Amino acid sequence: MFRQNSSFARSETSHQFANANESVRWWEENHHQNMIEVESAQELVDSLLNGGERLVVLDFYSPACGGCRTLHPK
């Protein structure tokens, strides 16, 4: 799972979220132990290479995306 880019976070506005004071944002909920967040392309490549023979599932999202928020499991 990708973590938001810090430069994107600075440009983010509070009206994009129903409750800007949430302690856990929707994309941080239900973060399972076998999930990792990557912050760069190199970290993604390294994670995929370290996956070996295991199945790797990528979940791309944007905190500002209304569709991402709608499709997020409740």
Q: Is 24 a catalytic residue?
A: no
**DSSP-assigned letter for residue 3:** P
β-sheet bridge partners, residue 38: 2
CA 2 – CA 8 distance, rounded (Å):
13
Give the global pTM.
Answer: 0.47
- The torsion defined by the Cα of 32, 33, 37 and 43, in degrees rounded to 10, comes to -150
Model pLDDT for residues 28-70, shown as the tens digit of each residue: 776 677 788 888 899 999 999 998 898 888 888 787 888 888 8
- The catalytic position among 1, 4, 65, 69 is 65
Q: What is the DSSP string of 23-55?
A: SS-GGGTT--TT---B-SHHHHHHHHHHTTTS-
Active site (annotated) includes residue 35: no
Catalytic residue, chosen from 1, 44, 64, 68, is 68
